[in-house]
A and B are shown apart, each in its own frame.
Chain A
Amino acid sequence: MTIAVLDGGTYYHHETIHGPRYRGRFDRVIHAPALTAGDLADVTTLIVPDRISPTVLRRHRDLLNGFPMAGRTLVVLGENDVMTWLDGVAWTPRPTNFWWWLAPGAEPPHQFPAPGHALFRHIRPADTVWHFHGVLQAPAGAEVLVSVPADPDGRDRGGALLYEDLTTRPGRLIVATLDPFYHHGSRFMPATTRFLDGFLPWLRTL
């Protein structure tokens, strides 16, 4: 198995990818604007972290769409305009409520339709709970791991924050709205660190 990660070159990608906590989790680091087909020749899992420039990802759309067609695993995290470059991915933006946790008695809206999924042997459901910027409409046959109900203000009908799709391609897609590389790498939200602590080792088991 060879796990590769695209590096967006920001300070938070630097901290998360090159920092001591996760450095050993990636077999290959590819600077996103310099990605070539040759970089992926022997890669079995490719991680597209949150907040890689969508301009770059759109430029590489053929390469990225082709990757899971060969039985390999493509992981795409949030805030990448993924719907503009990955075929079959649908997304509805939702204004971000960074402050949901400040209201007295506030409960996050997150739901966990597949609590027995193998990912949850590596992370707790609560480790996926932080603000989100929109919702994904998972394709038929995909397994939704984290979802939220319809927007209380009627702007969307709800959807997935994290799903695994083993049906629409020969390989595997894992798509999320979550943006842990940014927040862990900014030393800001501990839930994002707990998420990566389990999510990255889980990828190694696939």
Chain B
Amino acid sequence: MILVLTTGFDEGAAARLARQPGMAGHIAGLDQYAFDEASLAGRRALVIGMHCDQRFLAGRAGLIADFLRHGGRVVASGHHAYPILPGIGGFAAAERPTLADLTIHRLVDHPVWTGVDGADLTFRRGVAGFYGRVWHDPPDGALIVNGIGPDRRPLDFIYGVDAGTVLFHGGNDLTGYGSADDSSGRILPQLLDWMMAS
């Protein structure tokens, strides 16, 4: 079962994920402010979206870290403004970004991004910058899957915390990439497969 934190709107990520093929019965939505010690019992993965209250969750970062230590998977999107995940440092952005600054580069293969063309991440309807605009300072040893800008700075990365794994995307919700009519629409089903894999 995948736990998706919700943010008070009826049509949130939890409802959208539960409608994905094969996912009925595998998604549990929980209002973010109800997140406590009992929330993660028996869960395989936790999804923290870009609209979540990080200030609140930072007060419960120990629960998230414990979940990771015991083998959980955490998928988080957005900019890491409060210390909710272990090991991630700050973020930065180009002040007046050019197209080169916003260009996304695939650095390694990974099942979540298999078949996804970097150009479909850089552009949406010809406009750059929706998928991600900033880069983060990941923990040592993180696998950086997608980089941004000429220096290919970390945009998407994956790292282990004891038996668990964090998949971090420093931009718009990864779970929103399920209906695009280009290759970026492969992300959501592949992300769900990745979370469900033991």
Chain A residues with CB under 8 Å of chain B are 7-12, 14-15, 31-33, 51, 53-56, 81, 99, 102, 186-188
Contact = CB atoms under 8 A, between A and B. Distances in A.
28 contacts: A8-B53, A9-B52, A9-B55, A9-B56, A10-B51, A10-B52, A11-B54, A11-B81, A14-B81, A14-B82, A15-B79, A15-B81, A33-B33, A33-B56, A51-B51, A53-B7, A53-B8, A53-B33, A53-B53, A54-B9, A55-B8, A56-B8, A56-B33, A81-B8, A81-B9, A99-B125, A102-B126, A188-B133
A168 to B, nearest CB: 26
A11 B9 CA distance: 18
Given A53-B7, A81-B9, A188-B129, A14 B31 contact: no
A10 B9 contact: no
B77 to A, nearest CB: 10
Contacts of B57: 9
Contacts, number: 63
Contact of B54 (A10, A33, A53): A10
Nearest to B57: A9
Interface of B: 7-9, 31-33, 50-57, 78-82, 93, 125-127, 129, 133-134
A86 B31 CA distance: 21
Contacts of B129: 188
A186 B81 CA distance: 11
Contacts of A31: 55-56
B190 to A, nearest CB: 25
B50 A11 contact: yes
Nearest to B51: A10
A102 B127 contact: yes
Contacts of B51: 10, 51
Contacts of A7: 55
Nearest to B134: A187
